[in-house]
Structure formats: C-alpha cells, structure tokens
Chains A and B, each alone.
Chain A
C-alpha cells in the first residue's frame, strides 16, 4: 500500500476515481455502456471522445513543458488547422470526395508544422522566453485563422472528414482511436529512442546538457513542432465534429486545459521528468470534470470557479509539502488535545 501511494500516478488516478465516484452517486447509470447501431454509447465514451482533442494537445504540451517551456499557441494553431482544412474542402471542385479530404488534412497539418517551426525558431534560435514566444502566435494565430476563413464560419459536407471527429470504427469513436494511436506512438518514440532522455536532460539542466554535447536547439525545435502537430490534429477533430471551421471559438482555452492535464499528471512546470501516462490521466480528469459540473447541478455561471477550486485541490493533494503540512497540523492538534487531557 505504501509503495502504491508513492507511485507518481497514485494521486492523479485517485482524483480521477473520486470524480467518477461522485458522478456515479449523482447519476447511477453513469458507468453504463450500451451498444447501439454497432457503436458504443455512454457517458464514459462521451468523455473519451470529447477529451480526445485535449489529450492530443496535452501530449505535445508534455514534451514542451519537460524542456522547461510552455506552448500557449496550441488553441490558435488548432483553429488554423480547422480553417485551412475546411476552406480547402469548401473551395475544391470535389468537396465531398475522400481524396480532397486527405489533401485538406495533409495541407492543414503541414501548415501546423510550419507554425511549430516558427515557435521553435523564436525559442531555440532567438532565445525568447517560451511564454512570450508562443504568446505571439496565440494572439496572431486567431487572426490568421480569420484571414483564412474570410471571417465566416466555413461549413463543409464531407463524410470522410466528418468521420475524424464524429465517426466510429470498430464500435469506437475514431477521435479516440486517433488520440490513442498518437499516445502510443509518442510513448514509443520517446522511450525507445533517446528523445525522452535528451528532452529531460535539457529540461533539468540546460547548461550541463550543452557541455555534454547535447544539441538542445534541435531538441527544442522538435518538441515545438510536435506540439503544433498535435494541436493541428486536435483542431481537425474539432472542426470535423461540427463539419465547420470557427476561427474564433475552435480550440478556445484548450491550452489551459492541456497545461492543467500535464500538471495534474505529475509533470513539473520546472521541466525535467515527464509522464505521458500521467498526462493521459490528467486529460481524462479534466474532461470528466467538465462533464461533471452540469451533472451535479453546479450553476453554469460558477462553472469556471468550481473547476478552478477542484484543480487547486488536486494540485495541493499531489504536493508532498502540502500533504506534510496538513499532516503536521493534525498531529499538532491531536498532541494539543492529549496535552489538554493530561
């Protein structure tokens, strides 16, 4: 039990389980999953499907944060990806064909890679602080997306494209399958190659890494490009789900959810050791929380406040220092009580 409690995933998983328990108490049918028309349906499936974009963005964010950086531009990049894909589809001679959809997706992801290169350039070559460097694209990116869509909400009608966000394959939502595939590939690439170790080493001690011959510039560039790529995929899912590109609202505040997911998952904002499994749990937690708020009857206007309180509580729960402080308090109090009796 002790060893279990010491595992780095213990607290995030415990928080998730507690949250699920609250839901079950409020809605007894919460855990039910039923089959309908060959698709799985249920609250858990919804959480997984709606959480897929956050998980994708959080995966990229995990690696960026491990290098002591942060990427605020992911929401804007998601909007750009959706805009590029939808505008290409809407403007093509065959807007409903699968081939056009594939071109649109490829084009959108290529644009995202370019944006990631831009972020990486600002951070690794010009040495601008990541929070400022990515703030540039966070604000300018929405404008770019507006430029692409011409200020309109661009709607498309393409079944392949729609499938990315709303479709099912082998009874499961395609969005979930894509997110899980990216998760698996990321885990494999970071831990089977040396990328994970080099990312951590740059995050823990940049100067020592430089003196050991690590090409930190390449590493930084790689993580920002990867983060933009993940954000692009998330943006495509969001656009596909509604078959529309909304430059203003697609992926709005997703960067904050992603950062929260990473932090709840146990990766420190100070860089270094990262945990992709932790991020997965964190993303699920955030999405479950968003689902829980209306279920348990929290009024919509206090929604963000409630979310903030829960997140702070989880972060404190994870901090050994905070736990020790609470523990000491209780011990002091019981000591006082004992002294009072004596």
Chain B
C-alpha cells in the first residue's frame, strides 16, 4: 500500500502547515450551526488530509450528519469557514460542493435502479456527440472507473439487478468519476454483510492510495478500527477528541462518545438494585427473541416494579430489542410471555392489548402527531385502544389531560396547543403521558431523555422512578450511562446486536459499563 502514512500528521493541536509535507484538503474552522432551540454544531474545527481515511464518530444527535451536511453544502453555516483544496468556500448547495471535489455517498443508495450501471455513473454528465448521448463513450468511461474499483460487472447491466453492496460501489464509482478529492461515506456499511464490507474496504483502500481523502461515518467500532487512519469524535455538537487510530483504545473512544454527565440531579427516593425475586413470574419474558440482521436471539425478564437499564452503543441492538418486545418489528425467532402466558406480538396494537407500552427514540417521526393538539396526542393511545366508536367522555378526557399537564409540568400548559409547536422536552413529556394514561404493566422507553434540556430530563427520570415504585416494569434505554446507572435495578449490556452481559446494579460504575461495552468480542474477531 502506498498511501501516506498517518505518522506525517500531528494528531491535534499544532497546525499541519510547516510540520508536514501535506496540507489538509479540507479545513473547517469555528463551524457553528444552529437550529431552532438547539445548537447542532458548536465552534467545530475539523481537518481532512489527502490520502487518509478519517472516521467520524458519535452517538445520535452528536452532530455527525450536520457536520457532513455543512461540508457538502446541504446546510448553510451560521459562522465559521470551510476551506477545500486551499480555497475558501461558501457552498450554496450540494452541486457547488461537488464542483469543488466533495462527493457524498449516503447510506440509502439514491440512484436509479431501472437505468444501466454506466447511465447511473454518468447521469447528468453523459459524454455527447453531435448533441446526442454517446453510449459507446459512456460505457467505455464507466468500464474504466469500474476497473479502478476492481468491480467486475458490465456497465450495460441494469443497476437494480445487482445486490445493494454493488449498487453502493457504483454510487462510489459515480463519486470517484467526478474527480473527487474528498469522498464522504455516510454509514456505507449499514446494510452490508461482512463479505460485502470487505469488498467495500478494498475499494476504499485503493482510493486512499490514489490520494483521495475519505471521510468515513460509521457506528461499528470494529470497522472503524479496521479501515481508518484517524478519527474525530463528536458529542453534543462539539469535537471531544481527534486521534490517530493506532494510538487510541476502544475504551477511550467509548468514553468520549458517551461522555460523563456532570450535572447533579436530585436524589431519587428509591433505593436501586433490589434483586428480582426469581420465584415470581416475570410480567414480560422473552426467550431467544431475535430478528435476522437486527438482533441475535436474546433472553430478557422484566419483573413488576423494576427498572432494567439497557446500555450499549448506537446499532448495538438496544433499540431493536425494544421494537421486537413491542411488536413494532416482527421477530423471526424466539417467544414472548406476558405473566407466564405465551403471546404473539404481531403488531403494536397486540402489545398494547397485553399492556405493553413503547416510546420510540425517534420522537418526531415515530411519536409526535404534529398537526394534532397536545390533548389529542395524549389521548391517542387510549382512544385507539377503545376504538373510534367509544370516545373517551369529554370530562374524563379533560381531567386526564389537565392532570398530566400538571404532573409532568408540560409547557405551555395548554391542551389545545399544536403539538409541533412544543419544544422537544415537552413533546417527550406528552408522549410519556400518552402511555401513562393507558396504565401499562410494562413500559419500554427508548432514549426518552435524548436532546432535551436538563430540567425536563430530571423530571422524566423522576417519573420513571415513581412508576417503578408504584409497580410498573420499565425497560430504560439510554446512551447516557450515568442515567442508566441512576435509574436501573438491573443492567443489560448490548454490543453488535447481541446481549453480552446482564448484571445487578450494585456498585457498578460507568467505567465498568464502558469496559463491558468496549470489550472486544472474541468470537467476532476469530
């Protein structure tokens, strides 16, 4: 391999100029991007050198995709400068970024499956002869690029006839043909199996040796260590670390990604870590519950009145487990019992009938009904369970809504406010109220405190604690280990779509949890 050795670059601090023979091809300084109510990127400095694979790491909401979108011209920056190839750029859109040599391949391949491979690669830039498309020239040029990528397919074949992995490589081919100096790969391996990943990496390495700078976004640590030369870690819109891959350990990375929560929240009234009484029947029991490609067969018991904390990185299977337990996705292995009776969770509706509730991590797309009012959003679950012919009587409805507005301190405390006008934290509380009104036996909470302010977070934690005290079984998923430790009686650790550990929450520290999360899977290595 002839790519530039990572030695040449200082890992952080000093300017790359002067000390190294290469200047960065991308230099972003002081980038800040604000959205209503949230600062997505906060004074971020970022560099990318030619001939390196640079991994960008961080949890959901850390700012990875915002950073990419700033670089590729999708978002305008509120402040800061972007230099590409020595010239300052203020990209007005993705096309402008492409002209400057920055190409992006997104997780979802957005090409035309009914066109040929060559047509896809050269779409919009077809070679022309006498005003007509020169198909022969087009296929020749596509063949050259395919050869560069080591991809043995006919440029005339229909793109849709190839597997996703090949389509992804064609998308890369398209980017490479635009003389890309910078190639951004946004979660390129999310839908690939291990062989396909190997193929992709071969191509990435060959591009690196040709001097292309590659920005690689992935939440699979294994792959990040296998392919990258350098990495940058983002958390809450800030850069928290920049490392040479060979100088950093998994544990350090996990620590940086998950962070340590500094604010002190009020003490919870419950002594955590009561042990489950094995003689009791669990309210929810899963045995070998799994789904191909998203979760390996998993066992889990949830008892009345306990909080089970699920820790793990993004993509570890934590969300997938909750979705299977709620019937949001169909499982293809294992069984679920509710109070000792086997049930088939074919749909969320079935799960609701068995008194299971689920609050999704994707608040906007999977929770909030933006154009309905706060009251309607709160009552939706109960009303759906009763059916449309049996409306909740107006008086009961008003009582329930007012009670929960007060209990959860929702602002504005206006039942008729449109849901989409509320802040994230208040929306989350309304969604929580939706489930509380239904009085489930088990509540699955996936990242209920993500992206909301500290005050709302403390209130939600308090509610979770109270609910368990009153006897509800709760599965609490969070990327914040402090939060998981504070609330849980038992801890389940997920990694690479497997449940890897289950421990009682007695004297466990965040360091212990991080060590488990970061531990390399011997079987996966073999």
Binding site for B on A (CB under 8 A): 192-195, 197-198, 200-201, 204-205, 207-215, 219, 222, 272-273
User: In this assembly, does B250 line the interface, its C-beta being within 8 Å of a C-beta of chain A?
Assistant: no
Do B434 and A212 touch (CB < 8 A)? yes
Q: How far is the CB of B59 from chain A (nearest CB, A)?
A: 22
Do A205 and B370 touch (CB < 8 A)? yes
Q: How far is the CB of A258 from chain B (nearest CB, A)?
A: 23
CB-defined contacts of B371 to chain A, threshold 8 Å: 200, 204, 272-273
User: In this assembly, does B349 line the interface, its C-beta being within 8 Å of a C-beta of chain A?
Assistant: yes
Do A197 and B376 touch (CB < 8 A)? yes
User: In this assembly, does B6 line the interface, its C-beta being within 8 Å of a C-beta of chain A?
Assistant: no
12 A-B interface contacts by CB (under 8 A) = A192-B391, A194-B383, A197-B379, A200-B371, A200-B376, A204-B371, A208-B365, A209-B369, A211-B328, A211-B348, A212-B348, A215-B349
A165 to B162, CA, bound (A): 60
Q: Which one of B352, B376, B388, B392 has the greatest number of beta carbons of chain A within 10 Å?
A: B388
Do B370 and A197 touch (CB < 8 A)? no
With A201-B372, A204-B369, A204-B372 as known contacts, state yes or no: A209 contacts B380, CB within 8 Å: yes
Q: How far is the CB of B437 from chain A (nearest CB, A)?
A: 11
Do B369 and A194 touch (CB < 8 A)? no
With A193-B391, A214-B380 as known contacts, state yes or no: A201 contacts B352, CB within 8 Å: no
CB-defined contacts of A273 to chain B, threshold 8 Å: 371
CB-defined contacts of B372 to chain A, threshold 8 Å: 197, 200-201, 204
Q: How far is the CB of B508 from chain A (nearest CB, A)?
A: 32
Q: How far is the CB of A218 from chain B (nearest CB, A)?
A: 8
Do B392 and A194 touch (CB < 8 A)? yes
A272 to B370, CA, bound (A): 10
Which residue of chain A lies nearest to B368 when distances are taken between CB atoms in the complex? A208
Binding site for A on B (CB under 8 A): 326, 328, 347-349, 351-352, 358, 360, 365-372, 376, 379-381, 383-392, 434
A210 to B349, CA, bound (A): 8
Which residue of chain B lies nearest to A214 when distances are taken between CB atoms in the complex? B384
With A194-B391, A197-B383, A213-B352 as known contacts, state yes or no: A205 contacts B368, CB within 8 Å: yes
A192 to B392, CA, bound (A): 10
With A197-B372, A204-B369, A214-B380 as known contacts, state yes or no: A219 contacts B388, CB within 8 Å: yes
A272 to B351, CA, bound (A): 26
Q: How far is the CB of B434 from chain A (nearest CB, A)?
A: 7
A194 to B348, CA, bound (A): 19
Within the complex, which residue of A194, A204, A208 is in contact with B388, where a contact is CB–CB below 8 Å?
A194
CB-defined contacts of B389 to chain A, threshold 8 Å: 193-194
Do A211 and B358 touch (CB < 8 A)? yes
Q: Which one of A193, A208, A212 has the greatest number of beta carbons of chain B within 10 Å?
A: A212
A193 to B384, CA, bound (A): 12
* A207-B365, A209-B369 given; 17 more Cβ-contact pairs under 8 Å: A193-B390, A193-B391, A194-B390, A194-B392, A198-B380, A198-B383, A200-B371, A200-B376, A204-B371, A209-B384, A210-B347, A211-B358, A211-B366, A211-B367, A212-B434, A213-B352, A213-B381
A215 to B386, CA, bound (A): 11
A214 to B377, CA, bound (A): 12
CB-defined contacts of A213 to chain B, threshold 8 Å: 348-349, 351-352, 381, 384-385
CB-defined contacts of B387 to chain A, threshold 8 Å: 194, 215
Do B368 and A212 touch (CB < 8 A)? no
Do A201 and B370 touch (CB < 8 A)? no
Do B365 and A212 touch (CB < 8 A)? no
CB-defined contacts of B383 to chain A, threshold 8 Å: 194, 197-198
CB-defined contacts of A193 to chain B, threshold 8 Å: 388-391
